[in-house]
Amino acid sequence: MDAEPAPDPTTSRTSHDVVVAFLDALQALDVDAASALMAPDISYRNVPFPAVRGPRATVAVLRSFLVLAKGFEVEMLAIAADGDTVLTERIDTFVNGPVRVGFWVCGTFEVRDGRITVWRDRFDTADLTVAIVRGLLLAPVRMLGGRRA
């Protein structure tokens, strides 16, 4: 007697669950797991930059972030779902040794059939610039065992 195939985990999740799993995979630096949650026609836009389309292009962007950052953290400030649309307000932090660059991000995700079809993140470039300067200035303090700021 043949065993029944395992259910596809992406189809039994809510849109909220898919987005949380996606961000969890990114925090674990598991780009393959994150890619598995992308629809073949995903559109990713990190506003103000141009959109990229498809999992391959999206993964290439994610991997380019990991060239500079060896760690990634998400602090979820708020998350709300309305059907297939999920809105997130978060602090994303890129980490490389003692350098921590954390900045505010507002994300919009659209999910269809358990996969992300649209991912748009918005951030303030001035806020990001301040975060980079702050991260670089505080790195020596962290190296000497100072507070995690």
Instruction: Return the active site residues.
Output: 92, 121
Residue 55 CA to residue 22 CA, distance in Å, equals 13
Instruction: Provide, for the chain, the percentages of residues in helix, strand and coil under a 3-state DSSP scheme, each rounded to the nearest 5.
Output: 35, 40, 25
User: How far, in whole angstroms, is CA 66 from its chain's centroid?
Assistant: 12
Alpha helices in the chain, H assignment, sequence order: 15-27, 31-36, 55-68, 125-143
The residue behind tokens 């991912």 is 119
The gap between the terminal CA atoms of the chain, to the nearest Å, is 58
